[in-house]
Amino acid sequence: MTRILFAISALFVASALNAQTPVIVDGGILNGASFARNQAVAPGSLVSIFGDNLASQLASASSIPFSVALAGVSVTFNTVSAPMSDVIPGSATSRSQLNVQVPWDAIGGLPQGSVAVVVTRDGQKSAPQQLSLNQFAPGIFTIPAGAGYLIAINADGSVAAPVGAIPGITTHPAKVGDGIFFYANGLGPVDSAIQNGAASTDVLRKTLTTPTVIIDGISVTPFFSGLAPQFPGVNQVNFTIPAGVHSGNVQVQLSIGGITTSQTATIAVQ
């Protein structure tokens, strides 16, 4: 009887441990701005990792630089620890989600490569998930995430969307000739090294390659492209809305290194 109870107990413990083992779903590591599938991501950028049993509680980074562990969860890219922004437990209708920064040194400065991503939760490691990294992997932050209104900031701090379009946020259309900026992801190396997880508050860091903004089919060279000072892993692009842009909601794309965003991002112009 003792041996039977021991076997049952061992089986229960093994099942409990297995239930807590984190699992990254196939193709579940996405650009944190565009959520584009089947695409590489860039060192230094934010990514979202989706899976099962990745987190047991909701938590967000409370300080900058981001820590490499949050609520018992950590992530490595080829054994390099990743700064953690958010951990979100799953529900009956959604998978767990982790928002992390790909370490700048994940592929040792190479223009592209493949890394093994491992999530560790309370000591339990996931199976490695292979991920392609590329020097450039542009994405645009929108509301809602992935496709929606560009988080484009007018001179008065409002978002360039139709009035009342985003609950709780002041919005109004931009005008031709206005200088505005928006937030992006994956624009590649910058002109001054920065610590993983840190914000660029010490110096103004510009991208080594300047992207092209395509608004309403018109290509524009931004007057600034670099790291957003207050947000680790986030790029900021400043440009002037050119003549010829139609009024209403118009599409905005970002192109760099031969890669152009395909996500639907719009801005309101009057």
pLDDT at position 19: 52
Assigned domain for 11 exists: no
pLDDT at position 171: 98
Distance between CA atoms of residues 249 and 150, nearest Å:
10
pLDDT, tens digit, for every residue of 148-193? 999 999 999 999 999 999 999 999 999 999 999 999 999 999 999 9
pLDDT at position 101: 98
Distance between CA atoms of residues 83 and 95, nearest Å:
21
Assigned domain for 13 exists: no
Q: Does 1 score more than 60 pLDDT?
A: no
- Write down which residue in 134, 153, 170 finishes a domain: 134
Q: Do 144 and 221 sit in the same domain of this protein?
A: yes
Q: With H, G, I as helix, E, B as strand and everything else as coil, classify residue 88.
A: strand
Total domains, the chain = 2
With beta carbons less than 8 A apart as the criterion, state whether 10 and 2 touch: no
Q: Do 152 and 240 sit in the same domain of this protein?
A: yes
Distance between CA atoms of residues 265 and 77, nearest Å:
29
Q: Do 151 and 255 sit in the same domain of this protein?
A: yes
pLDDT at position 248: 97
Q: Does 8 score more than 80 pLDDT?
A: no
Residue type (1 letter), 77: F
Q: Do 144 and 253 sit in the same domain of this protein?
A: yes
Q: Do 225 and 148 sit in the same domain of this protein?
A: yes
Assigned domain for 175 exists: yes
Q: Do 86 and 149 sit in the same domain of this protein?
A: no
- Write down which residue in 76, 100, 134 finishes a domain: 134
Q: Which of the four pLDDT bands, split at 50, 70 and 90, describes residue 18?
A: very low
Q: Does 12 score more than 80 pLDDT?
A: no
Assigned domain for 7 exists: no
Q: Does 251 score more than 90 pLDDT?
A: yes
Q: Which of the four pLDDT bands, split at 50, 70 and 90, describes residue 14?
A: very low
pTM, two decimal places: 0.90
Q: Does 6 score more than 90 pLDDT?
A: no
Which helix (H) or strand (E) element contains residue 19? helix 2-20
Assigned domain for 167 exists: yes
Q: For residue 224, give its domain range.
A: 139-269
Instruction: Please name the residues in contact with 91: beta carbons below 8 A apart, sequence gap of 6 or more.
Output: none
The residue written with tokens 């009057």 in the block is: 270
Assigned domain for 5 exists: no
Assigned domain for 14 exists: no
Q: Do 180 and 259 sit in the same domain of this protein?
A: yes
Work out the average pLDDT over 83-104: 96
Q: With H, G, I as helix, E, B as strand and everything else as coil, classify residue 168.
A: coil
Distance between CA atoms of residues 212 and 38, nearest Å:
23
Mean per-residue pLDDT of the chain:
93
Q: Do 129 and 143 sit in the same domain of this protein?
A: no
With beta carbons less than 8 A apart as the criterion, state whether 85 and 110 touch: no
Distance between CA atoms of residues 240 and 63, nearest Å:
33
Q: Do 50 and 122 sit in the same domain of this protein?
A: yes
- Residue 86 sits in a domain whose CATH number is 2.60.40.10
Distance between CA atoms of residues 77 and 133, nearest Å:
10
Assigned domain for 191 exists: yes
With beta carbons less than 8 A apart as the criterion, state whether 182 and 151 touch: yes
With beta carbons less than 8 A apart as the criterion, state whether 103 and 82 touch: yes
10 φ/ψ angles, rounded to the nearest 5 degrees? -65, -40
- Write down which residue in 100, 134, 168 finishes a domain: 134
pLDDT, tens digit, for every residue of 192-231? 999 999 999 999 999 999 999 999 999 999 999 999 999 9
Q: Does 57 score more than 50 pLDDT?
A: yes
Q: Do 148 and 164 sit in the same domain of this protein?
A: yes
